[in-house]
A and B are shown apart, each in its own frame.
Chain A
Amino acid sequence: MESSENGRESNEGISVKEENILNFLDSVDGYLILMDSLSSTLRQGWLELASARHSMGASRINSTLFDLKLHPASTTLQVNDQSAAPDRELPHFTLCKWASSNNPEKYFEEAKFGEDELLKKSNSLRHRDISHNSEIQARSPESVGSPVTVDDQAEKERYKSLSMFGTLVSPKLRASQLSFETALEMLVEVSNMRASLLCAHDQVQKDMETATK
Chain B
Amino acid sequence: MANRVQIRTSNSALIAMIADEDTITGFLLAGVGNVDLRRKTNYLIVESKTTVKQIEDAFKEFTTREDIGIVLISQYVANMIRFLVDSYNKPIPGNFGDPV
Contact = CB atoms under 8 A, between A and B. Distances in A.
Interface of A: 35-36, 38-39, 42-43, 45-46, 49-50, 61-63, 66-79, 81, 90-91, 93-103, 106-107, 110-111, 114-115, 118, 129, 150, 153-154, 157-158, 161-162, 164, 173, 176-177, 179-181, 183-184, 187-188, 190-191, 194-195
Contacts of B32: 73-76, 184
A194 B94 contact: yes
A35 B55 CA distance: 24
Given A42-B98, A94-B1, A177-B30, 18 more contacts: A36-B99, A66-B28, A70-B35, A73-B15, A74-B31, A75-B30, A75-B31, A77-B15, A78-B13, A79-B69, A93-B13, A96-B8, A115-B37, A150-B2, A176-B29, A187-B15, A188-B70, A194-B94
Interface in B11-44: 11-15, 21-39, 41-42
Given A77-B14, A180-B27, A184-B30, A69 B99 contact: no
B69 A161 contact: no
A164 B42 CA distance: 17
A177 B91 CA distance: 29
B33 A73 contact: yes
Contacts of B13: 76-79, 93
Interface of B: 1-15, 21-39, 41-42, 45, 69-70, 72, 91-92, 94, 96, 98-100
B22 A49 contact: yes
B63 to A, nearest CB: 14
Contact of B10 (A98, A110, A191): A110
A100 B37 contact: no
19 contacts: A43-B100, A63-B21, A66-B33, A68-B35, A70-B35, A72-B8, A76-B14, A78-B13, A91-B91, A93-B13, A94-B1, A96-B8, A99-B8, A103-B7, A103-B8, A111-B36, A180-B29, A184-B27, A184-B32
Contacts of B21: 62-63
Given A45-B26, A195-B91, A129 B12 contact: no
A91 to B, nearest CB: 5
B98 A76 contact: no
A35 B94 contact: no
A213 to B, nearest CB: 25
B37 A129 contact: yes
Contacts of A78: 9, 11-13
Given A73-B42, A150-B5, A161 B30 contact: yes
Contacts of B24: 63
A67 B32 CA distance: 12
B69 to A, nearest CB: 4
B85 to A, nearest CB: 14
Nearest to A81: B11
Contact of B35 (A39, A71, A118): A71
